[in-house]
Amino acid sequence: MKLWKTVRRFLPLSLLAFVLAGCGETNLTALDPKGPQSQWLFDNMLLSLYIMAFVTIVVFAIFFIILAKFRRNPGDDEIPKQVHGSTALEITWTVIPIILLTILAVPTITGTFMLADKEPDPEVGENTVSIKVTGHQFWWQFDYEKEGFTAGNDVYIPVGEKVIFELHAQDVQHSFWVPALGGKVDTIPGITNHLWLEADEPGVFKGKCAELCGSAHALMDFKVIALERDEYDAWVEGMTAEVPEPTETLAQQGRAVFEENSCIGCHATGGMGTAAGPALSNFGNRTTIANYLEHTPENLEAWIRDPKGLKQGAVMPAYPAMSDEDMEALIAYLESLTID
């Protein structure tokens, strides 16, 4: 009785938690595929689900039929005849699973090769976009080596093309996962893994580190931004262009603050970045700060004054004593870093 009372008290709460668990995240789901990789994974998952459902239904149907048909009736005092070993039955329940497993194995094996393929996109050839990914505690570095620049925490790709990701890790093991576009692949220090993804439509697809990698693991998010090819090319051009002088005086002062406080030692504002911190070349375009804080001047100030307070274990030093004037100028400078 006591147990039932406890269950009754917590049941509505746990049901609510279950329902709400899907809220909040926009497209951090593998159940709404937006690319050929994730579509294949989804279809294969459904196939195994249907096979399992079929087995469950058949087994339970037989179970209940036998339960009803062979139950003990009044007057049945004798133990029924004991049978052991029926060749027909043995063959049946060996052959059926073999058939079912074969149905599962054929697409799984061909699909696994399809997913592991790291050849360039046949239609785009040598223009296939290839991005070097490095997982850090607790941010992602995206190097476009051929083009000669680093994108910060948002990775841009062209729509409808196979994009190759070359996966590395700087410190510990992380896992690169964009559920709407494909499967997850670990990034491991000293080892290079590969993954290709393709987006069927333009959009912003949320990604996450899927390997417990330290204190702020849960905040190690990123975004894949898929653009039409011409928009993508324009973005690449913006990222490779000379970094323009800030036009506003406040932003100009901010750049001096950025240099004096050695922010520049860890954060590139153009070209290839470093492994010390995310490149800020297009920071003004980002919708988040440190991948999870809403992008507002208040949050940006809070972040610069105390990064570890907002993201435990973040490697960036704190600047608690920066004057308000310097802070205002610095923020104006950071917001001026945009690519149209």
Contacts with ligand HEC, residue ranges (CB under 6 A): 138-139, 152-153, 258, 261-263, 265-267, 276-278, 283, 286, 289-291, 304, 311, 314-317, 319, 330, 334
The distance of closest approach from Cβ of residue 235 to ligand HEC in the complex, given in angstroms and rounded to an integer, is 16
Query: In the β-sheet with 185-187, what is the strand arrangement from edge to edge?
Result: 154-158, 221-227, 203-209, 174-177, 185-187
Residue 118 backbone dihedrals phi, psi, to 5 degrees: -120, 25
Residue nearer to ligand HEC on the CB measure, 109 or 218: 218
Gyration radius (Cα) of the chain, Å: 28
Instruction: Please choose which of ligand HEC, Cu ion, none residue 213 contacts, taking the beta carbon within 5 to 8 angstroms, the exact cut-off set by kind.
Output: Cu ion
- Of the pair 200, 301, the CB lying nearest ligand HEC is at 301
Smallest distance, ligand HEC to C-beta of residue 149, A: 15
User: Coil, helix or strand for 163?
Assistant: strand
| Residue whose CB is less far from Cu ion, 216 or 334 | 216
For residue 294, CA distances in Å to 261, 268, 284, 301, 322 come to 24, 22, 13, 12, 22
Contact by Cβ (8 Å): 310, 289: no
199 binds, among ligand HEC, Cu ion, none (CB under 5 to 8 A by kind): none
The one of Cu ion, ligand HEC, none whose footprint includes residue 276, by CB under 5 to 8 A per kind, is ligand HEC
Least gap, CB of 202 to ligand HEC (angstroms):
22
Q: Which residue's entry shows tokens 């009803």?
A: 68
Q: CB neighbours (10 Å) of residue 191?
A: 11
In angstroms, what is the minimal distance from the CB of 220 to Cu ion? 4
Q: Which residue is nearest to ligand HEC (CB)?
A: 263
Per DSSP, helices labelled H in 261-296 are: none
- Nearest distance, CB of residue 8 and Cu ion, angstroms: 40
* In the complex, minimum distance from the CB of residue 302 to ligand HEC, in angstroms, rounded to a whole number: 11
The site partner of 162 among ligand HEC, Cu ion, none (C-beta below 5 to 8 Å per kind) is none
Question: Is residue 329 a contact partner of residue 300, using CB atoms and an 8 Å limit?
Answer: no
Residue that the structure tokens 């750049």 belong to: 255
* Cβ 269 vs Cβ 279: under 8 Å: yes
Instruction: Decide the pairing of beta strands 288-289 and 293-294.
Output: antiparallel
Nearer to ligand HEC, 180 or 220 (CB): 220
179 binds, among Cu ion, ligand HEC, none (CB under 5 to 8 A by kind): none
Reference 29, options 234, 157, 208; nearest CA is 208
Nearer to Cu ion, 121 or 154 (CB): 154
Per-state percent for the chain, helix, strand, coil, to nearest 5: 45, 20, 40
Binding site for Cu ion (CB under 5 A): 174, 209, 213, 220
The residue among 170 and 261 lying less far from Cu ion, judged by its C-beta, is 170
